[in-house]
Chains A and B, each alone.
Chain A
């Protein structure tokens, strides 16, 4: 992780791109589908004009395509590879030899297939390595780089290797539901309910981070390992740790790509979508509109596109810091009938009003499930009654009586669901509720499944009842 941070920090100014050369060719050519919103722009905004690139070329130049992934070093993705510096260059007519020294605290890999130059004259070039000596750090390059590297240049040996292995695993295990671009539209997706996550919003439901924070790597890893009970997301527990990490990084890469695309399009959508252009044509000429777009793409868009990348890098980096993590200020209140009763009272209270969605008995049948909602984007009513999530899927509140908790059944999991809400869904954040109260609700929720009848809280929880006679015997 530190490795990539070192890269990105050093190169933020350069806005440097690394091409992660995909070795060999893949079975079939695939591409990252663009979002519907991108496709709704006029052609000039999508593809750009003579003067400047539009959304699609900007996106492609930073993220590449599945065969030729690009590493945009602004983004906090673990690209893989070892960072090293050129120590000495010796070239003859037939070959070029470079000796590398690892960056401080790093070591050189035992095998190496290619090197990417990040700084110096040769920056941006990727050259294959034909002979590699891990002991001395000496490499024989397959070809002469166009611009010769000099000693002191920063480079990445096998840069992007982790991302590529993530891609291979993702295509094998995940893409048939989540889609090549992470749009949740893989071939099996249409048979599933709930629908597979569309990562392109950059939003993940079950996180241990604050309501405003992105998902952390740890959260994604948990979901991969343990699956999401009650959905089609299975557990991948038997995969190796490094494989899981590679998938997590690739999913984050796809999420950032999708989110970046959305942000780019938002810069253009209000003025240059097919719809708004056809409205504008009533009193403007098309050539004027294109001219205006041309100037926007040339003068403002590149800087905006860069700063959007910086923002993205910041929020995704922040998600893995301690500050983002939800840590209850008090330990879990021990489970007791008293605590459960308080939990139920809070659950029914008008301030928290859990019953409005989850129902008085927690069966997930509150009055909100019968209401017709407005689509917040289009402003139209949804066709079916009930709550909808950010992805416009019907997403009814959980039936809490069934004991199936999608984001996990540990007390901390439920605590996070209440504290941060479920991102992208109508479950709001209750971060201002005192933590002790949240624990009471957690205790109530965990007991709901075992109630003899709705609202009937047992005299003593089973565990306490067992412990009591033993204590009396002492």
Chain B
């Protein structure tokens, strides 16, 4: 029975190792391939940490199993050795994890800066957000600048409004300004690997480069109230021409005076 426990604790790291090895090819970790440029870097970090965690888990479990096995096969006459208070051991298991953590924090610095630090954003998006995404309970309200003008923090005459659908150009870096009207929300596009909290009072620039035109899910990832689950929207990535055409349509629609429409349907 004593040996059973050693085998038991050796068994699980094998399972974990197997799962870690096959998971990426089965798509178990992520909803899809990363579909934005930053997504590849984020997935890279994820896998780096996964490897470290797997090695640590397998290593510690193997050591645990070894200790149990040794105890099980040892004669009952031998005395136990108590390690409590061993300075050498304390130092080892403090320094090794500290080293690992410092390693992780240094490696991710560049990626973090690329995502969060405005001055590291691609030049083309610096100070030129294409839209303001305003989270509110429980929807996403989008404000585009009037075509041909720049987006201002305060609403301007001619700004275009929509809800739960944001059109951005594909294959080029794009920046939006993220805000919230009430409580904290989070802008989460799983397939793009973009996740950023919207904080009351702050205007937070968020950039991404969607590799392919298409429709991407946008969710709220911060439990923001009873209607949190309703905060689902879509990001539509299109060619620049497609986005411009969309905005022209939106502008026409927003200036609708009900007369042209009636004439068209009467014809």
Residues of A participating in the B interface, judged by any CB pair closer than 8 Å: 173, 176, 188, 191, 208, 226-227, 229, 232, 234-235, 237-238, 325-328, 330-332, 403, 409-412, 415-416, 439, 446-447, 449-450, 461-463
Q: Are A410 and B163 in contact (CB under 8 A)?
A: no
Instruction: Let me know if B254 and A410 touch, CB within 8 A.
Output: yes
Given A238-B232, A238-B234, residue A412 in contact with residue B258 (CB < 8 A): yes
Given contacts A237-B163, A410-B253, contact A462 B258 (CB under 8 A): no
B58-99 near A? 1/0 per residue, CB < 8 Å: 000000000000000000000000000000000000000000
Stretch in B1-9, B46-54, B151-159, B241-249 with 4+ CB within 8 Å of A: B151-159
Flag if B138 contacts A234 (CB, 8 Å). Answer: yes
Are A237 and B258 in contact, with the CB atoms below 8 A?
A: no
Q: Find out whether the CB atom of A227 lies under 8 angstroms from the CB atom of B257.
A: no
Please give 12 more A-B residue pairs, beta carbons under 8 A apart, in addition to A237-B165, A450-B156, A463-B157.
Answer: A176-B226, A232-B227, A238-B234, A327-B259, A331-B260, A410-B253, A411-B255, A411-B256, A415-B257, A447-B157, A463-B146, A463-B158
Show 19 residue pairs from A and B whose CB-CB distance is below 8 angstroms, ordered by the A residue: A208-B258, A227-B139, A234-B137, A234-B227, A235-B164, A237-B163, A237-B233, A238-B233, A327-B259, A330-B259, A331-B259, A332-B259, A410-B257, A411-B255, A416-B258, A446-B157, A449-B155, A462-B157, A463-B158
Name the A residues within 8 Å of B230 (CB-CB): 173, 234
Bound state CA distance, A328 and B226, in angstroms? 41
Contact of A409 among B138, B254, B258, B261 (CB under 8 A): B254
* Contact (Cβ within 8 A) A415 B158: no
Interchain CB contact under 8 A, B164 and A462: no
- Given A229-B141, A462-B156, A409 and B257 touching (CB < 8 A)? no
Known contacts A234-B227, A403-B155; A326/B161 CB under 8 A: no
Q: How far is the CA of A280 from the CA of B234 in the complex (A)?
A: 63
Q: Which residues of B contact A (CB under 8 A)?
A: 137-139, 141, 146, 155-158, 161, 163-165, 226-227, 230, 232-234, 253-262
A327 touches B258 (CB 8 A): yes
Q: Which residue of A lies closest to B159 (CB)?
A: A403
Closest A residue, CB atoms, query B164 = A237
Chain A's nearest CB lies how many Å from the CB of B73? 58
> Which residue of A is nearest B265, CB measured?
A322
Find chain A residues with CB under 8 A from B234 CB: 238
Chain B positions within 8 Å of A450 at CB level: 156-157
Kindly list chain B residues whose C-beta atoms are within 8 Å of the C-beta of A415. 257-258
Q: Take A463-B146, A463-B157 as given contacts and tell me if A235 and B259 are in contact as well, using a CB distance cutoff of 8 Å.
A: no
From A176, A226, A410, A439, B255 is in contact (CB under 8 Å) with: A410
Chain A hits for B254, CB < 8 A: 409-410
- Whether the pair B165, A328 counts as a contact (CB closer than 8 A) is no
Contacts of B137 in A (CB 8 A): 232, 234
Nearest Cβ in chain A — how far from B45, in angstroms?
31
Chain A minimum-CB-distance residue to B262: A327
The reply to whether B256 and A412 contact each other, CB–CB distance below 8 Å, is yes
Contact A328 B161 (CB under 8 A): no
Contacts of A229 in B (CB 8 A): 141
